[in-house]
Amino acid sequence: MTESLVNARTPTVLRPPAPPKGWTRSRVFGYLLVGLWIALLLGLVVYLYSAWNIELVKKYGPTYLSGLGTTITLVGSSIILGAVLSIPVVLGRLSKNRIIASIAYFYVYFFRGTPLIAQVFLIYYGVGSFSKELQSVGLWIFFREAWFCALLAFGLNTAAYQAEILRGAIRSVPLGQWEGAASLGISKSVTFRKIILPQALIVALRPYGNEVILMIKGSAIVALISVYDLMGYTKLAYSRTFDFQTYLWTAIIYLILVEILRHLWDWMERRITRHLIR
Amino acid sequence: MEGSIALLGFGEGGWGPSIASGILVTVSLALATLPLGLAVGFFVALGKQSSEPSVKLAANMYTTIFRGLPELLTLFLVYFGGQIGIQKLGQLFGYTGTIEINSFIAGMFAMGTVFSSYASEVFLSAFRAIPKGQYEGGYAIGLSNGQTMRKVILPQLIRIALPGLGNLWMILLKDTALVSAIGLADILRQTAVAARVTKHAFLFYGTACMIYLALAILSSFVIDGIDRWAAKSGVKR
């Protein structure tokens, strides 16, 4: 009797269903797809091996490296420029003054609503066409250089995106945090610096990472205004050799760069949110 | 000022007609890419939430590769790589003439792969937002796998995914500007030609920006309309 009682009290625990054995339809399909990928990657490796040309590597390898350097410095400096420029834009977006708020809104709308390549052309060719006026105010040295024009266009563009990221992150901090600090008699600026911003930056970290990756990918278009970044040297190498492997190597380099950044950001996010894991 | 209006106008020496044809090319390229990207993105998302690890792996590789490559590079890979590939295929069948790839088709495929890899993420998060009970309810009343997907899941999925897909459409519209690099006569290409000929670069590139802005505003109205229409069929809360 006791036995039956015990049995009645222990509920039968349902195990999750075991994965299907044998060759189900989706498994066959999946193996086919993975096989296709492996075949493609093997084909790529075999092609790159068979097309290996030491002359080509000797001639264009160093230019690829310097191009990669240009890409990284251009993206790095435009991200920093954008971060600086985004602060007044965020203040404008959060301002209670309607004129300032609408100016900031239009700035963000313009730079997010038009293609980056059109903005780069507008600054390099468009502003550059006023060479006489620019010479008279001494700005011609700046706008003559394609690199500086790209930096300015990228900086203005990413400032608009970064401003939206920062604004969303600041908004995501609950109002109670402001009120709690105010009730302790902490001034507004200290509240912002020591209470709101640290919490907002955790929220903003992931979108910032996405923005950096988008900038690295977007920076390839400077090759079209004759800045020799990684893409620029690739175009040069292809136009001289008509060897398709020039593009494939660049694709591999960009993929590695983006994957490194993505994993770096995952690691950063894990580290900075350690205190939130219970 | 009057000179700029004449330059942009449709009259003698005006660049209006060529810019208008550029708008048509840009819009039709974006519209042609959309169904391709949506369909591929949907199936990649289905693969990503599959219980079979090999399908998941294949789908994840697709996104990793096409989200990691710059859009311009993807475009060049498709354009030049496709040209070489078709040439080789032609030689295999004994055709030795030169084969040119249409830049519109190349742009469509390149933009479609980029769009679909982003769309698959949007669809995936929409799939995760639909409770499992919806599938089980479908099976319980005797619907087959495909019927459940079509009649129960898909209508909800589209409603949840709409805002994300609207953002992707905006990105697609801007990305089409890149095809001017492979010689397709879109807005940017036409204004660039006008700028080179007339030496009014600022005016024409500024016009191009304003046209893209107008297209973005127009699409946001349309997307809002679709959003409202889709919300009507949803559950009233």
Cα of B54 to nearest chain A Cα, Å: 5
Which of A34, A122, A247 is closest, CB to CB, to B76? A247
Query: Does the beta-carbon distance from B70 to A220 stay under 8 Å?
Result: yes
User: What region does B232 belong to: left with phi over 0, alpha with psi -120 to 50, or beta?
Assistant: alpha
Cα of B202 to nearest chain A Cα, Å: 4
A40-81 pLDDT, tens digit each: 999 889 988 888 888 888 888 888 999 999 999 999 999 999
Distance CA A41, CA A47 (A): 10
Percent of chain B topping pLDDT 70: 95
B9-33 pLDDT, tens digit each: 776 667 788 888 999 999 999 999 9
Confirm whether pTM is higher than 0.80.
yes
Distance CA A57, CA B9 (A): 51
Q: For chain A, give the secondary structure using H, E and C.
A: CHHHHHHHHCCCCCCCCCCCCCCCHHHHHHHHHHHHHHHHHHHHHHHHHHCCCHHHHHHHHHHHHHHHHHHHHHHHHHHHHHHHHHHHHHHHHHCCCHHHHHHHHHHHHHHHHCCHHHHHHHHHHHHHHCHHHHHHHCCHHHHHCHHHHHHHHHHHHHHHHHHHHHHHHHHHCCHHHHHHHHHCCCCHHHHHHHHHHHHHHHHHHHHHHHHHHHHHHHHHHHHHHCCCCHHHHHHHHHHHHCCCHHHHHHHHHHHHHHHHHHHHHHHHHHHHCHHHCC
- Chain A interface disruption, residue of B50, B69, B120, most A CBs within 10 A: B69
Distance CA A37, CA A198 (A): 43
Q: Is the pLDDT of residue B200 over 80?
A: yes
Residue pair A86/A166 in contact by the 8 Å Cβ criterion: yes
**Which pLDDT belongs to residue A1?**
45
Mean pLDDT of B97-112: 86
Distance CA B166, CA B34 (A): 11
Structural domains present in chain A: 57-264 (1.10.3720.10)
- Blockwise average pLDDT, block size 10, chain A, 278 residues: 52 69 81 91 89 82 90 94 92 90 93 92 86 78 84 94 92 91 92 90 90 92 89 90 87 93 92 81
Tell me the average pLDDT of chain B.
Answer: 88
Burial class for B130, CB neighbours closer than 10 Å (0-12, 13-18, 19+) = middle
B42-58 pLDDT, tens digit each: 999 999 988 888 899 99
Q: Which of A149-163, B115-129, B219-233 has the lowest mean pLDDT?
A: B219-233
Cβ neighbour number for residue B107 with a 10 Å cutoff: 27
Architecture of the domain whose range is B24-185: Orthogonal Bundle (1.10)
**Which pLDDT belongs to residue A157?**
94
**Which pLDDT belongs to residue B235?**
66
The pairs formed by A255-263 with CB atoms below 8 angstroms and a separation of 24 or more are A255/B64, A255/B65, A255/B68, A255/B69, A257/A68, A257/A216, A258/A213, A258/A216, A258/A217, A258/B67, A258/B68, A259/B64, A259/B68, A261/A209, A261/A212, A261/A213, A261/A216, A262/A209, A262/A213
Report residue B45 as tokens.
Answer: 């998302």
Which of B58, B204, B217 is closest, CB to CB, to A34? B58
User: Could you tell me the residue ranges of all domains in chain B?
Assistant: 24-185
**Closest C-alpha to B63, from B77, B78, B46:** B46
**Which pLDDT belongs to residue B81?**
87
Distance CA A56, CA A97 (A): 60
Report residue A247 as tokens.
Answer: 């593009």
Which of B61, B199, B201 is closest, CB to CB, to A37? B61
